[in-house]
Amino acid sequence: MSLRDRAAGIDLLDESNVELREGEKILKIPVSEIYSESQVRKYFPIEKIKDLGASIKEHGQIQPIVVYPMDGKGYKIQKGECRWRGAKLHEISHLDAIVRTTGTMFQQLAENIHRIDLDPFEVGAALLLMKKEEGLNNKQLAKKMTISESEISAFLKTVSAPEFVVKAYYDDQIGDKETVNSLRIAASMNEEMTKNLLANEVTRQGAQLLVKKLKVETINVSSRGKKKSKARDASQPRTNETHINQPKAIRVSLSDGRQGLIDTHGEADIGYLSIIIDKCSEAVILPVTDVNLIGYGN
């Protein structure tokens, strides 16, 4: 693969094609007079940045960067931070640039949000910042970005992924936000098992299966702990109302919105639970994947 090919497409949020607007012109600006602040991107793959800088030095700059008018610090970057960083690494003195007064983080992201190879962590961080700065909820943000609310939520959740999951993404072990979020959930329940999974080749299905397995184990542990608590309560005299009002079952919600209690005395195959639905005297057997743990309830 050529140097130009390796460098292509690495700067998803600031390497998109730049169109020259009416009245604009491309200037050569000293790299030393350009600076970065509050860019969408927060992770810069150093080897790819080096490739990009080498490509600029060997083949020339394909796209101009976009900067704000000069202020007290210099020209602040709107688009092209990876090119600027690559140029600094290779001691390139000047970059082609367009000076543009308008341009926001929202515009940077909106131009690229539909690309399938977007970095989910960068997008999530950018969306989170926009929510805070613009005072938007997920629904309003989804409308502005013209994507579904569930997509917005998925991007935002990647921000809380542990560092070892983030590293696995940048090491090309995983390649989509769905797998990232499955591993994020798994890590919150059992970090060691999640790291063990990442020690081998990871698929989206494998990550989802780990989450299901850990959910089953969590529910089973909670159920066993509740039985032990009941046994202790039965062997001790009740001296006050605190014992009388202690929770007696594990409360869950179902995928259809109903709620109920896990029937700890019911019989169910592995991977299934016996649930006593609220306002219903009979128990139903449901897959554990259709059940979400709420907490302890009476």
Give SS3 for 139: helix
Residues 264 and 198 reside in one and the same domain = no
Give the chain's mean pLDDT.
79
Q: Model confidence at 263, in pLDDT bands (50, 70, 90)?
A: confident
Residues 20 and 56 reside in one and the same domain = yes
H/E run at residue 79: strand 75-79
Last residue of a domain, one of 43, 75, 103: 103
d(CA 235, CA 232): 5
β-strands 94-99, 34-35 pairing: unpaired
pLDDT for the residue numbered 247: 46
Does residue 148 lie in a domain region? yes
Out of 28-32, 84-88, 125-129, 289-293, which region has the weakest mean confidence (pLDDT)?
289-293
d(CA 41, CA 170): 14
For the residues 62-70, what does the mean pLDDT come to? 91
* Alpha carbons within 13 A on the beta-carbon side of 69: 3
Give SS3 for 1: coil
Residue 251 near residue 257, CB atoms below 8 Å: no
Does residue 122 lie in a domain region? yes
Residues 34 and 85 reside in one and the same domain = yes
Residues 113 and 194 reside in one and the same domain = yes
Domain count for the chain, please give it.
3
Report which listed range, 84-98, 113-127, 142-156, 244-258, is most confident.
84-98
d(CA 87, CA 201): 35
Tens of pLDDT, residues 180-224: 999 999 999 999 999 999 999 899 999 999 998 888 887 766 555
Residues 28 and 99 reside in one and the same domain = yes
What CATH number has the domain bearing residue 255?
2.30.30.30
pLDDT for the residue numbered 6: 42
Alpha helices of 135-288 — where are they, by DSSP H? 138-145, 149-157, 163-170, 177-189, 191-198, 204-235, 241-244
Q: Which domain holds residue 149?
A: 107-210
pLDDT for the residue numbered 278: 77
Q: How many CB atoms lie within 10 A of CB 291?
A: 21
Out of 37-51, 147-161, 228-242, which region has the weakest mean confidence (pLDDT)?
228-242
pLDDT for the residue numbered 289: 72
